[in-house]
Amino acid sequence: MGYLTFFINRVALETQTAMDSYNSEDHAGTSYLPFIGFMLFLAGIVVIIVGLATYLTAKHNFNIFFDARDVRMTYDEQIMPDDEKARLNNEKLAKDKKKGKIIIIIGVVLVIASFVVL
């Protein structure tokens, strides 16, 4: 643990001596890290929104663009009992919920990474 605090203090001292924070005009435009950090943050927020939409759609079983005329049913699906259709639908919704949670976690990791980069 002592080595880690030594390393953090060493990095902090090097950045303080290397850059004068009060004279930001000297260093304007010399680093691309703030841009990368902002883009990671933006991508993270977008991914979180997509993950939330996926999760909530699966949880509440929304069908925003559903039209019964677009559904193509095979003969096997037509003669399939209703409880079997419901089971298959519930399995798909469970997979979509899991996929939504994973996408949300990826978005949170991107947002955290943006703060690390900055």
In the predicted model, is pLDDT for residue 17 greater than 60? no
pLDDT of residue 20: 61
More confident residue, 48 or 29: 48
pLDDT of residue 86: 72
The pTM of the whole model exceeds 0.85: no
Q: How far apart are CA 115 and CA 110, in angstroms?
A: 9
Half-sphere exposure of 6 (CA within 13 A, CB side): 3
User: Rounded mean pLDDT of 32-42?
Assistant: 88
Q: At what angle do helices 82-117 and 33-60 cross, to 10 degrees?
A: 160
In the predicted model, is pLDDT for residue 109 greater than 60? yes
Average pLDDT of every residue of the chain: 77
